[in-house]
A and B are shown apart, each in its own frame.
Chain A
Amino acid sequence: MNLDFDESEVAFRAEVRDFLEKNLPADIQQKVRGHAEIGKADTVRWQQILNQRGWGASMWPKQAGGTGWNATQRYIFDEECVFAGAPAQLPFGLVMVAPVIMAFGSPEQQRTFLPKILSGEDWWCQGYSEPGSGSDLASLRTRAERDGDHYVVNGQKTWTTLAQHADWIFCLVRTSSDARQQDGISFLLINMHSPGVTVRPIIMLDGGHEINDVFFDNVRVPVTNLVGEENKGWSYAKFLLVHERTGLALVPQGKRLLAELKDIAAEAMKTDVRLRDRVARLEIELAVHEMTLLRVVSASGSKRGPGAEAAILKIRGTEIFQNIYEAILQVTGGAYVDPAVANRYFNMRKLSIFGGSNEIQKNIIAQMVLGL
């Protein structure tokens, strides 16, 4: 057992760092460091730069155009990107729909969709949640009815992140009401530019526009856009959950944020013991949380079931991250609540709600690990 990276991993880190130094555009870096909004143009520009280097999809296998990196290399890459001030890559295509298309999609779908995800040409969003179906996703009601070579889709998706930029949405839709709820759901890829698709902004508590309602009014979708088999969509969506083991651990992001907190709090900590203890606790929690992530990374060659690990990483990662933001808010403002900092704090409440709320993560652990 050791925490030392071997020679090839050290060299790999240097290579990534060198690449970032030379290729991360200064204007984007500045925005990321200043917590400014990263728009579509910058996200796509950065995806293209990475793709030119062959690093567009760090989590894909080589034959699909990915890097073929192992878990340790991905960990190093993610950390270096965050430390350098690179923007996040859009996850919906790369991390969410691509693995499903690779595993269950037709060769035609793989040829059509994967290259444009990699190049940043297609912007994807995720259409799972509905007004009546959040945590209880399997109750979803958006319908897709077969009409010749097409499905006709009617219904509403909501909370759809960055749908305002999207070319495509991957949706869970109801194709049967006969069986058990889960067995009547299909996985459908829908062109956002189709007639009958309407996007309506939802403004968040920080005033920002990152989520939307998406309405489907008799939208015609070619049956060739069905992934896998009809009524099997639920199992594909679950495959995705299991596939993504370390998604919301927020370790490098937390480290960067903690450094910011220490910086802001440096002066106050000289006299304020309580603040100092609070920062110390966050520092300890983050270091230990990182160790949990490294345990998962290190065991990723083994056969243990991954679901519960991802759940722990999500719960702890989001809690710690939110707590660092809370501390930053407190230290920055004093009695005056700094609006920019407060908005970041407000926005980050989302972390424990999306991606399967932290309560749902606990249900998963109770069932999968504790057998309760």
Chain B
Amino acid sequence: MNLNLTEDQQALQDTLRKFAAKEFSFAKRKALVAEQAAGAVNATGFSPLAWKQLAEIGVLALPFEEAHGGLGGSALDTMVVMEELGRGLMIEPYLGTVIVSGGLISTHGSSSQKESLLPSIGSGELLVALAHQEPGKGFDAEVLATSLKGPGDGLVISGSKAQVLYGAQSDNVLVSVNEGNGVSLFLIDSKAPGVTWHDQKMPDGTRVARLELHQVSVSESARVGGKGDAGPVLNRAFDVANAALCAEAVGIIVTMIDITSEYLKTRKQFGVTLGTFQALKHRMVDMFVWAETARSATMLANVRVASGTAEEAHWACSAAKVQVSDAARFVGQQAIQLHGGMGVTEEMVVSHYFKRLTCIVALFGNADYHLEVISSKLLAA
């Protein structure tokens, strides 16, 4: 049993923290988010420069096998990356492209798909999104309306997808379709005829798109994995995504605590700094205890993803999402509260962290959803 970061992981953490501080200041981020109105021509929604630099540092190839230009990293390595992206409040499409789509291709793709796609994802040249969720349905839907017709007259996909992270900015998109008794995945060109994107800017400045697929032709070679067998693979990808999201949330939570603690040490009322009031000290401690709880939960989830059984990982990822969501709500709301009026201004970075935190804990199932995952297992026992 060992729960310490390795030297390599500490070095990675250090590099990323310095990188985010230097290249991704709050001012730059604000300009970036403001500049790129949703739907603007050529809007990337993130900084292509920062993306390239992340590729140079090696983090975009981190989880892939060495044979495909990767570094063979585990969930524990991407946990380190996600926490730093959180601290730096970075809006790059790491989760969608590298962890979710890259992960699906790594575990489910053919060797030629891996060979042709993973090195380009790792080098930052290729963005791949996952389009699975459908309007009005849960993120983990098992019965899909998106259809696959054919093979007579060729294979054709039609349907609507929602909540596609950085979909409008992607080069390729993994689309899930209903096939026979299961779900299948196809990789299509994001600009193929019949594909229409509706780009949306989220409250935290990140991009999410709706996708319309109107009789999009695909070939059999675009299939990722087997016929109708993607259900369990997607579920695993959601666990991995949640483990990563929890790490990003931890990075944000600890940063909000640092910022708020600093504020309490400088802001004066009644002739003394706010930090001298015990009610506020104890509030800060409650936030700190939540942060440590969130970190423990996140480590448990990522350790289980890295080396536990699928079932252990599923339990731990849902457990983590419940605790981290609670921590996020408490720390987020209280960090704003303890800043007083300043907390609700656009000017303060703390409000931007709050927005990001609010958005990310809603992804891939909120706390209620994941509590039900754990709770329903009590019945089976």
Q: Give A residues with C-beta under 8 Å from B.
A: 1-6, 9, 72, 262, 266, 269-270, 273, 276-277, 279-281, 283-285, 287-289, 291-292, 294-295, 297-299, 302, 312, 315-316, 359, 362-363, 365-366, 369-372
Contacts and interface: CB of A to CB of B under 8 A. Distances in A.
Contact of B261 (A291, A362, A370): A370
Nearest to B277: A372
Interface string B309-328: 00000001001101100000
21 contacts: A1-B5, A1-B303, A2-B306, A3-B1, A3-B300, A3-B308, A266-B381, A279-B378, A280-B371, A280-B375, A280-B378, A284-B371, A287-B319, A299-B4, A312-B292, A366-B281, A366-B284, A371-B265, A372-B265, A372-B280, A372-B284
A75 to B, nearest CB: 9
A19 B320 CA distance: 36
A276 B292 CA distance: 26
Nearest to A280: B375
B300 A1 contact: no
Interface string B1-16: 1111110000000000
Contact of A292 (B1, B293, B375): B293
Nearest to B299: A291
A315 B292 CA distance: 12
A284 B367 CA distance: 12
Interface string B252-290: 000001000100110000000001101011101110110
B381 A288 contact: no
A288 B307 contact: no
Contact of B322 (A281, A362, A363, A372): A281
Nearest to B293: A288
Contacts of A297: 1
B357 interface: no
Interface of B is mostly: helix
Contacts of B319: 283-284, 287-288
A22 B320 CA distance: 39
Interface residues of B, number: 47
Contacts, number: 129
B327 to A, nearest CB: 10
B2 A298 contact: yes
Nearest to A366: B281
B331 interface: no
A365 to B, nearest CB: 5
B282 A1 contact: no
B381 A262 contact: yes
B380 to A, nearest CB: 11
A4 B377 CA distance: 24
B4 A365 contact: no
Nearest to B80: A1
A362 B1 contact: no
A120 to B, nearest CB: 31
B322 A370 contact: no
A113 B171 CA distance: 75
A288 B297 contact: yes
B107 interface: no
B77 to A, nearest CB: 10
A346 B111 CA distance: 63
Contacts of B297: 284, 288, 291
A265 B224 CA distance: 45
B76 interface: yes
A269 B1 contact: no
Given A1-B76, A291-B296, A370 B288 contact: yes
A288 B300 contact: yes
Given A2-B303, A288-B293, A359 B282 contact: yes
Contacts of A371: 261, 265
Contacts of A315: 289
B282 A370 contact: no
A269 B379 contact: yes
A370 B289 contact: no
A289 B282 CA distance: 20
Contacts of B71: none
Given A2-B303, A266-B381, 9 more contacts: A1-B299, A1-B303, A4-B1, A287-B319, A288-B320, A292-B292, A363-B278, A372-B275, A372-B276
